[in-house]
Amino acid sequence: MANVTIFGIVDNAYNMTSTTTVAGVKSKTTTVGGAYTGSELGFKGSEDLGGGMKADLQIHFAPSTDTAAAPTGYQSHVGLSGGFGSLKAGQFFSPMFFNNASFDASGYSAFGYNEAAVNSTATLTSNAVQYDLPTIIQGLGVSYMTAKGEVARPAATATALNDISNIRLTYATGALSAGISTATQKGAAGASTKQSSSGLSYDLGMAKLMYYVTSSKATTASVSDKGTNFGISISLGATTIGFTSSSAKKGATQIESSGSILQVKYDLSKRTSVIAQNGSTKITSGASKGSSAAGTSVGLWHSF
Amino acid sequence: MFKNLKTVLHFFLFSLFASTSLSAYSEVTISGTVDQAYETVKLTNITGQYKLNRIEPTLSNYNELKFTGSENLGPGLKAIFEISFKDVGPDDADKIASNYTSFVGLDGSFGKLKIGQQWRPMFNAVAYIDPTQLVYVPGFVGTSAGLATTPLANSITYNLPSFIPGFFVQYQKGYGETSTRQGDSTGLNLIFTDGEKFFIAYATNVEKMNSVGNFEGAAAGTSTIAQLGALSPYFTIYDSTNGGERRMATGVAASYNFGPFKLVYGNLSEKVEGTVAKKTQKSWE
């Protein structure tokens, strides 16, 4: 019999957002909803198969905890783990996602206002298989994921749509952590997009410095989308203050934008936190130069 | 507007409530309701007579699956949460569960604060005393008042601590999540009860509408509204194209338990600002 654990998060916040157009027209909206991780509900478990081998399972939903919307599928997978490493198949966040998130001082918050996320493969990925190597060299981690677009062959186009190959290498020693991830996402008619993320963090004790750069370039484009994110996370007892400053250059005309997030997380316990966030983004070149968005959020986050 | 004559016969009712606890990182309680009935509905309106046979939930209105829990944060403070789904029952083969009432909150000496999709104060004040437990048809609250018996999305609810034993005050703010504030609402209820014999409640709810007084997404004449009107004798359509910008509801409820029987009175009215039409329900049970 497999042991099954119920787990989840309820994340709801009071959010005030405002946008300003190039013409200076302002608009404000108040919303309620998850602004950090979003809510989730899952069942996970494992079965001991003997000889150091385990079967692992997870069925996972993202329920709407602020509206009547139906829950959506989240990270659900089945796999094996043992001395050979771990193998899982299903839907889960890509190694590219974790490379961005691991070096984001605001926890890669669902609040937004992060301009560095130019790599579209840094997301929840369907129809995926991932293999994580066992620890061969202390501190070194290797993950490889392939995901299928599930296009019938022979397809109308020469290549499958949206097939993704993604690899991530991580290394941690003492206060230093580093990670690099590259991915190729196939498109139609032989086109594809190559993406990457490289990150560093250094733990000074009370504060942790974080930095990552991202890029995405389609074979049909002459230039890459590029993003950078610099952040600092400061721990003051139960309070953690995170600040990120990000920028990006996107599109054929390399439109520039910048963003920032200030996040204060106060832990009422290991599982319950009050999270306050303030963020803004601004387009600083091109036809939309001067348009901006800003938001403030105060929420309650509980995991179980 | 329909003038309805309706009869409902419940030939079969099966209701099951199951509860169990499973421990993960914190204690999580799973509970639920499975509620199915065979109904025959006879309807007479201005377009003729209709008969409808169906399998529908009755007592609870919905089949429900719920996960609840709490965490003791010390000095009288608790974190509380709920995630629940409705329409999980078997009456419609391909029915997809949707969120019902879900929230995360804090409960302590300051009162109770919850964020999520929750019952309106009007529901808490009025609907609980309905002896038919909000059965669609005979209940005096029924479904005719939109501000009463539906959970409110994107809402923040605050319950004051009990300064006077038996006196309960709840305030709720809901957000339509539009830049025009359409759909924003404010609700309040006051309840006084000894928990055994008497119960008295007053509740009010005000919702901001669009500039012509229609509900968001419920403009008159749309096929959806027309279909709802044709299918359900319990659906009320507002078409106040010259109306105001607010929809207001007020509810008063009282009950006294004599032991062998319970006397219940309820009055629920709802009105769109600037219109003549006013919908009122009164009931003695």
Q: How far apart are the first and last CA of chain B?
A: 26
For residue A250, pLDDT beyond 80: yes
Say what the pLDDT of residue B3 is.
31
Q: Which two tokens stand for residue A265?
A: 């997380």
A244-258, A259-273, B120-134: which range is least confident on average?
Answer: B120-134
The three-state secondary structure class of A225 is strand
Q: Cα dist. A228→A277, A289, B236 in Å? A: 20, 19, 54
Using a CB–CB cutoff of 8 Å, tell me whether A231 touches chain B.
no
Percent of chain A topping pLDDT 70: 96
A190-242 pLDDT, tens digit per residue, is 788 999 999 999 999 999 999 999 999 999 899 999 999 999 999 999 999 99
Tell me the C-alpha distance between A242 and A263, whole Å. 5
DSSP-derived secondary structure for B223-277 = HHHHHHHHH-TT------TT--SEEEEEEEEEEEE-SS-EEEEEEEEEEETT-S-
For residue B163, pLDDT beyond 90: no
For residue B211, pLDDT beyond 60: no
Instruction: ipTM value, please give it.
Output: 0.85
Say what the pLDDT of residue B283 is.
56
| Length of chain B measured in residues | 285
B89-116 pLDDT, tens digit per residue, is 555 555 667 888 999 999 999 999 999 9
For residue B21, pLDDT beyond 50: no
Q: Which two tokens stand for residue A241?
A: 């203050």
Which pTM does this prediction carry?
0.82
Say what the pLDDT of residue B45 is.
66
Q: Using a CB-CB distance cutoff of 8 angstroms, which residues of chain A are in contact with residue B175?
A: 30-32
Shortest alpha-carbon distance between residue B117 and chain A (Å): 5
A3, A5, A6: which to substitute to probe chain B, counting the most B Cβ within 10 Å? A6
Q: Using a CB-CB distance cutoff of 8 angstroms, which residues of chain B are in contact with residue A8?
A: 28, 67, 83
Nearest to A66 among B28, B98, B154 (CB): B154
Say what the pLDDT of residue B137 is.
35
Q: Using a CB-CB distance cutoff of 8 angstroms, which residues of chain B are in contact with residue A39?
A: 83, 102
Class of the domain covering A14-32+84-303: mainly beta
Q: Cβ of B155 and A32 within 8 Å?
A: yes
A269 to chain B: nearest residue by CA? B73
CB atoms within 10 A of CB A222: 7
Q: Using a CB-CB distance cutoff of 8 angstroms, which residues of chain A are in contact with residue B79?
A: 268-269, 271-272, 300, 302
Percent of chain B topping pLDDT 90: 24
B99, B113, B216: which to substitute to probe chain A, counting the most A Cβ within 10 Å? B99
For residue A247, pLDDT beyond 60: yes
Using a CB–CB cutoff of 8 Å, tell me whether B216 touches chain A.
no
Tell me the C-alpha distance between B57 and B54, whole Å. 10
Q: Which of B16, B2, B39 is nearest to B137 (CA)?
A: B39
DSSP-derived secondary structure for A60-118 = EEE--SSSSPPPEE-SEEEEEEETTEEEEEEEEE-HHHHHHHHT-TTTT-TT---TT--
Q: How many CB pairs under 8 A join A and B?
A: 128
Report angle CA A203, A208, A213 to the nearest 5 degrees: 105
Residue B218 banded pLDDT, cuts 50, 70, 90: very low
Mean pLDDT of B235-241: 38
Say what the pLDDT of residue B23 is.
38
The three-state secondary structure class of B132 is coil
Say what the pLDDT of residue B238 is.
40
Tell me the longest C-alpha to C-alpha distance in chain B: 64
Contact A203, A95 (CB under 8 A): no
Say what the pLDDT of residue B237 is.
38
Delimit the domains of chain A by residue range.
14-32+84-303
Contact B138, B130 (CB under 8 A): no
Which alpha helices (DSSP H) does chain B contain, by range? 121-126, 223-231
Of residues B262 and A27, more confidence is placed in A27
For residue B68, pLDDT beyond 70: yes
Say what the pLDDT of residue B226 is.
38
Q: Going from the N-terminus, what domains does chain B have, and what CATH number goes with each?
A: 110-285 (2.40.160.10)
Q: Which two tokens stand for residue B85?
A: 């789904």
